[in-house]
Structure 1
Amino acid sequence: MLSYIVWSPKPYIVDLGFTELRWYGLLFALGFIISQQVMFHIFKKEGKKERQVEVLTLYMVLAVIIGARLGHVLFYEPARYLSNPIDILKVWEGGLASHGGAAGILIALYLFAKKYNDISYLWILDRIVIVVAITGALIRTGNFMNSEIIGEPTDKAYGVVFGREVELRLNYLTTAIEEVEVERAKSSATLESMPEGDFEYPVKLTVSFNDKNKLEDVKRFTETQMLSKLQESTISQHIEFSSNTKFEYNEKGGFIYATTYGNGVPRHAAQLYEAISCVFIFLLLFYLWNKNRSGLADGRLFGIFLIACFGLRFLYEFIKENQVAFEDGLALNMGQWLSIPLVLAGIYFIVQSIRAEKRI
């Protein structure tokens, strides 16, 4: 049995009844909080006013949310949103594009630089990318908590079986289901329901029903409707269940439990790859700023960020699932096409900063 991880956390920290406190929202907000504190430090070290950081934070929050949302609308699903414009406002349903966020930041910082005479556009770009990197790390971690933006299947030992989609799909089947739990099977010896040799990555599925349901009704439901659902591609891309899958039943604590086993489909944890990369980019940029802030020509840090961040994004897209169907017919997906001009822009800014240093 190869090593693998089954990942299926709840996307929320606590259910308040009227709403949920979600990991993604918390990490998103934490990114701005940490970024603001780092920018306070940078502005203080460089003799700028701390009040300017408060204004900058407002600009950045609006730029990221509006830019990322419109970026997703225009780049990935224009037909859907243009036919239902009101859905553009439903940010809580998901759909944010990092490239759109980048465009929003560029516009917002231009307006910010115009507001203050002592701050140039390139100067603030060089500083803001330091904190954009750490915010990006936290946002991608939020994507991991949501089990979204997943990678392609892999046989590597660090592959992750994302079970959350399976849980959601089954929960929608009927209100009789109390809870669905996906976990790594402790022993392949218990997998009698699967053909021998087909369970390289055994996963245990447990569905609980309240005792208001009769056992014979639960059996009828699991062995017809639920078994049919388990064959659908939305589930089989995460966990494969054979058409002759068997269920085990037991009653305990007022619940009826139906248990079966499937073969997990480990995938690259692309969200974590990007998150870890962003942490290293943050450390690199902060180090360069801290060591050479008075000696680096404007645009150097910004150029490094564009090349590192979007160059890696271009590469990671090769091991990520496409976000929308139309990308399947493209030589490169939308994320890669949008990354290319940003990498080229990064090269331009580095070249310009080197020329500026030579002129001094």
Structure 2
Amino acid sequence: MLPYPQIDPVAFALGPLKIHWYGLMYLIGIGGAWWLAARRLSAFDARWSREKLSDLVFWVAMGVILGGRLGYVLFYDLSAYLHDPLKVLRVWEGGMSFHGGLLGVMFATWLFGRRNGKGFFELTDFIAPLVPIGLGAGRIGNFINAELWGKATDLPWAMVFPTDPQQLARHPSQLYQFALEGVALFAILWIYSRKPRPTMAVSGLFALCYGIFRFIVEFVRVPDAQLGYLAFGWLTMGQVLCLPMVLGGLILMLWAYRRAASSAA
């Protein structure tokens, strides 16, 4: 068993204001994505300025935050928020959903594209390789918060999390997700997108790989207490939401390459 590193969730305090590592992870993810996007900006559109890119990053960041919060409310704990609507504003209590954030980003990207003469999938193909940076940073934030841990196990890398009332040795599922959704997904998308690909293909690969990676890790992650298992006695909400991602990713990739083949013919 590995010892859990006792990291204070509060990175530093400025008087009464406490800066949490989880919040800093969002800044790191957004900042890292902006930096890498700037490196590929000329290949994406040589006419775009850094200011235009900053506008896109701002819209996407708002989509992540607002969509992630509303997605958690709708998908994971709607009854609690209906009972106490002001709970939506208490973001420091936690509660963000990747799938909600994804929908928020898609909506923000669509709006931004309409205002700037860019196609939806043209933008999502540009954005997709950058997303794993934020995903990986977010999972490190979950690990520091000692939240979203996995099921009990006797594997040598199991950890006892201070927030676990049962104090059992558990899968560090946050680190699994960091490795798959952050490192592996970034490597796959970054390498794949270095060469020109048919429109929609990069977006499809992102949806496909993320859906598979998340679906796998959910088998060893403890489901949300208020939901438990939803289907067949073993599917979690995360897995249910990933199924359409896998299917949609496959469809997008097949469609992308068929369109490219038809155009070439």
More helix by share: 2
- Supply the distance in 2 between the matched residues of 1:326 and 1:22 (Cα, whole angstroms): 27
- Supply the distance in 2 between the matched residues of 1:275 and 1:6 (Cα, whole angstroms): 16
Matched, 1:288 2:189: no
2:40 is paired with a residue of what secondary structure?
A: helix
Match of 1:141 in 2: 140
Alignment of 1:17-32 (within 5 A): 17-32=15-30
| Candidates 217, 242, 249, aligned match of 1:346 | 249
Match of 1:226 in 2: none
More strand by share: 1
- Supply the distance in 1 between the matched residues of 2:230 and 2:110 (Cα, whole angstroms): 36
- Supply the distance in 1 between the matched residues of 2:142 and 2:47 (Cα, whole angstroms): 35
Match of 2:54 in 1: 54
- Asked whether the 8 Å contact 1:143–1:149 carries over to 2, the reply is yes
- Asked whether the 8 Å contact 2:130–2:186 carries over to 1, the reply is yes
Counterpart amino acid of residue 187 in structure 2: L
- Asked whether the 8 Å contact 2:77–2:226 carries over to 1, the reply is no
| Candidates 208, 211, 219, aligned match of 1:310 | 211
- Supply the distance in 2 between the matched residues of 1:311 and 1:283 (Cα, whole angstroms): 15
1:169-204 Cα offsets, whole Å, 9 max, x none, are: xxxxxxxxxxxxxxxxxxxxxxxxxxxxxxxxxxxx
C-alpha displacement of 1:108: 0.8
Match of 1:337 in 2: 240
2:19 is paired with a residue of what secondary structure?
A: strand
- Supply the distance in 1 between the matched residues of 2:95 and 2:4 (Cα, whole angstroms): 25
- Asked whether the 8 Å contact 2:37–2:130 carries over to 1, the reply is yes
- Asked whether the 8 Å contact 1:76–1:324 carries over to 2, the reply is no
Counterpart amino acid of residue 13 in structure 1: A
Cα distance change on mapping 1:116 and 1:273 into 2, 3 Å: same
- Supply the distance in 1 between the matched residues of 2:47 and 2:68 (Cα, whole angstroms): 29
**Displaced runs of 4 or more, over 4 A:** none
- Asked whether the 8 Å contact 1:7–1:162 carries over to 2, the reply is no
Counterpart amino acid of residue 256 in structure 2: S
- Asked whether the 8 Å contact 1:73–1:88 carries over to 2, the reply is yes
- Supply the distance in 2 between the matched residues of 1:45 and 1:297 (Cα, whole angstroms): 15
TM-score (norm 2): 0.93
- Asked whether the 8 Å contact 1:311–1:343 carries over to 2, the reply is yes
Match of 1:92 in 2: 92
- Asked whether the 8 Å contact 1:130–1:286 carries over to 2, the reply is yes
1:150 is paired with a residue of what secondary structure?
A: coil
Counterpart amino acid of residue 289 in structure 1: S
1:326 is paired with a residue of what secondary structure?
A: coil
2:169 is paired with a residue of what secondary structure?
A: coil
- Supply the distance in 2 between the matched residues of 1:351 and 1:339 (Cα, whole angstroms): 19
**Larger displacement relative to structure 2 (14-23 or 76-85):** 14-23
C-alpha displacement of 1:110: 0.8
- Supply the distance in 1 between the matched residues of 2:104 and 2:22 (Cα, whole angstroms): 20
Match of 2:220 in 1: 319
1:126-161 Cα offsets, whole Å, 9 max, x none, are: 111111111100011111111111011111111111
- Supply the distance in 2 between the matched residues of 1:4 and 1:30 (Cα, whole angstroms): 27
Cα distance change on mapping 1:144 and 1:77 into 2, 3 Å: same
Unaligned runs of 5+ in 2: none
- Supply the distance in 1 between the matched residues of 2:38 and 2:230 (Cα, whole angstroms): 46
C-alpha displacement of 1:329: 5.6
Match of 1:356 in 2: 259
Unaligned runs of 5+ in 1: 166-233, 239-264
- Supply the distance in 2 between the matched residues of 1:336 and 1:284 (Cα, whole angstroms): 21
